[in-house]
Amino acid sequence: MSYLGEQGLTRFKTPEQLEVVGSLPRNETLRKVLKYQLRDSFADKAWP
């Protein structure tokens, strides 16, 4: 997260947590990211 500060991102815009995933769920025709599936997959996680 220190990288973001070095790049000039203000502290209040810095994310509290960052989750790195191997791939994003996409639809088959337009290859757009399926945001509802992302929300559902992270809704089960308990954030500290």
Residue 3 within any structural domain of the chain: no
pLDDT, tens only, 1-36: 788 889 999 989 988 888 888 999 999 999 999 999
> 29 vs 48, which has greater pLDDT?
29
Name the E strands within 1-48: none
Q: How many domains would you assign to the chain?
A: 1
Residue 10 within any structural domain of the chain: no
Tell if the pTM clears 0.75, that is, is over it.
no
CA nearest to 25, candidates 14, 37, 17, 16: 37
**pLDDT above 80: residue 45:** no
**pLDDT above 70: residue 48:** no
pLDDT in the model for residue 29 = 95
Residue 42 within any structural domain of the chain: yes
Task: Tell me the residue range of the domain where 40 lies.
Answer: 23-48
